[in-house]
Amino acid sequence: MNNRQLFLQHVAQTSDAPLALEIVKAEGMYMWDADGKQYLDLIAGISVCNIGHCHPKVVKAIQEQAQTYMHLLVYGEFVQAPQVAYAKYLTDHLPASLNSVYFTNSGSEAVEGAMKLAKRHTGRTEIIAFKNSYHGSTQGSLSIIGDEYWRNAYRPLLPDVQHLSHNSMDMLSNITERTACVIAETIQGEAGVLAPQREWLQALRLRCTETGTLLILDEIQCGFGRNGTLWAFEQYDVVPDILLLGKALGGGMPLGAFIANRDVMWSLTNQPVLGHITTFGGHPVACAAGLAGMKALMEEDMMAGVVFKEKLFLELLKHPRIKAVRSRGLMLAVELEDFPANKKVIDHCIQQGVITDWFLFAPQCIRLVPPLIITEEEIRAACKIILAGLDTLVS
């Protein structure tokens, strides 16, 4: 059996139509398959590889840390320099109130930790989330995602969860002194790039403050320069009580985090002690990689071109089959009439050496979330292929 057949046989599948491309190398904007075919990556491993694949500084940091030490002990006991350095660097780049970082293995685990923290800190049980939001696939994070189709098969779900409409001022009164936390993606990703209205997000912040509810912003997908600023919330002049990070946080390695004020985080330390336990969370190699990656993002000024590149995509992506394009920096959703049309374009692009995808809750939209290092030339080449794909749709 070849690798593809072994993959289908022995690597658990949750899709009946996996892409099953065998990638043998990735670097910067590109990947190569087993036949040597080159692909331009327009999805960055779903918003992970914001600085491109295998950034040399990240590779070096991983090699050095792997030679120094790897796993030592479960989270939070030993002083591990890569964790300390990354927590310091992150908090140096966050509002002063967000000064305590709990590192996890994944985005979903960060969501779980944050919900637990909110319950412990407030002594309340109700969790409010939003329709069309995505927060992960573990039982708890799945319970709060805002899409019935994706969560229904896993009932009973976490109790005392309400889903409100995004951008609805009227619904803010549902947040009360019973509510432990409100969790929102700053920019909804899987819904197909839906941004909140500025006034609404600010009113949400205010309502949380009034009711003593913790505001959790999930920037697992939209953080790390994706929108042109390091954090998406900066563009709205709000500061969350808990910030959730993942995906690009690890520079290509698995890493998540929930970040809060130290006074709030302290609620996890007694009655019972060890309020969140993780064996591998904050793995030293992942933290070393993440720190090197974030430094590359900042020092190489990768966010500088994001707005220009977004505009270029918007300018080039004009076609009668496109119903709408929604974007926040280099996070774009190109809306077509339905999933079959989208799938046809995606397949055409892959065949032509451009990797793109759809969104979980917006299967009719092409996902364009490239590494931030994409060049003008690469954007032009990619859009040409996307437009040719759109031409193949029969009218």
Q: Does 189 bind ligand PMP (CB under 6 A)?
A: yes
- Region of 132-140, 171-179, 285-293, 313-321 interacting with ligand PMP (CB under 6 A): 132-140
Judged by CB under 6 A, the number of residues near ligand PMP is: 15
In the block, tokens 């009218």 appear at: 395
Which helix (H) or strand (E) is 164 found in, with range? Answer: strand 161-164
What is the distance between the terminal CA atoms of the chain, rounded to a whole angstrom? 42
Which residue number is nearest to ligand PMP in terms of Cβ? 107
Residues 31-50 that bind ligand PMP (CB under 6 A): 46
Task: With beta carbons less than 8 A apart as the criterion, state whether 219 and 25 touch.
Answer: no
Least distance from C-beta 393 to ligand PMP, angstroms? Answer: 28
3-state helix, strand, coil in the chain (%, to 5): 40, 20, 40
Least distance from C-beta 394 to ligand PMP, angstroms? Answer: 33
Q: Which of 134, 258, 358, 361 binds ligand PMP (CB under 6 A)?
A: 134
What DSSP assignment string belongs to 315-378? HH---TT--EEEESSS-EEEE-S-HHHHHHHHHHHHHTTEE-EEETTEEEEEEE---TT--HHH
Give the x-and-dash track for 216-245 against ligand PMP (CB under 6 A).
--x-xx------------------------
Q: Which residue, 341 or 362, has its beta carbon nearer to ligand PMP?
A: 362
In one-letter notation, the amino acid at residue 128 is I
What DSSP assignment string belongs to 43-107? SHHHHT-TT-BT-HHHHHHHHHHHHH----SSTTSS--HHHHHHHHHHHHTS-TT--EEEEESSH
Nearest CA to 232 among 191, 265, 201? Answer: 201
Strands (E), 208-344: 214-218, 242-245, 256-260, 324-327, 332-335
Q: Does 185 bind ligand PMP (CB under 6 A)?
A: yes
- Region of 14-22, 129-137, 234-242, 364-372 interacting with ligand PMP (CB under 6 A): 129-137
DSSP state of 296: H
Nearest CA to 373 among 232, 245, 224, 242? Answer: 224
- Region of 80-88, 93-101, 106-114, 326-334 interacting with ligand PMP (CB under 6 A): 106-114
In the block, tokens 């709990």 appear at: 102
Q: Does 87 bind ligand PMP (CB under 6 A)?
A: no
Least distance from C-beta 187 to ligand PMP, angstroms? Answer: 9
In the block, tokens 């491309």 appear at: 21
Give the x-and-dash track for 296-335 against ligand PMP (CB under 6 A).
----------------------------------------
* Assigned token pair, 258: 């929930």
Q: Does 136 bind ligand PMP (CB under 6 A)?
A: yes
Give the x-and-dash track for 146-175 against ligand PMP (CB under 6 A).
------------------------------
Q: Does 106 bind ligand PMP (CB under 6 A)?
A: yes
Least distance from C-beta 47 to ligand PMP, angstroms? Answer: 7
Least distance from C-beta 11 to ligand PMP, angstroms? Answer: 17
Q: Which residue, 357 or 378, has its beta carbon nearer to ligand PMP?
A: 357
Task: With beta carbons less than 8 A apart as the criterion, state whether 350 and 21 touch.
Answer: yes
Least distance from C-beta 128 to ligand PMP, angstroms? Answer: 16
Residue 161: beta bridge partners?
Answer: 127
Q: Which residue, 111 or 201, has its beta carbon nearer to ligand PMP?
A: 111
Q: Which of 107, 223, 240, 293 binds ligand PMP (CB under 6 A)?
A: 107
Give the x-and-dash track for 248-267 against ligand PMP (CB under 6 A).
--------x-----------
Least distance from C-beta 36 to ligand PMP, angstroms? Answer: 30
Q: Does 135 bind ligand PMP (CB under 6 A)?
A: yes
* Distance from C-alpha of 163 to C-alpha of 150, rounded to nearest angstrom: 14
Task: With beta carbons less than 8 A apart as the criterion, state whether 241 and 206 touch.
Answer: no
Pairing of strands 100-104, 256-260: antiparallel
Q: Which residue, 101 or 220, has its beta carbon nearer to ligand PMP?
A: 220
Binding site residues, ligand PMP, CB under 6 A: 46, 106-108, 111, 134-136, 185, 189, 218, 220-221, 246, 256
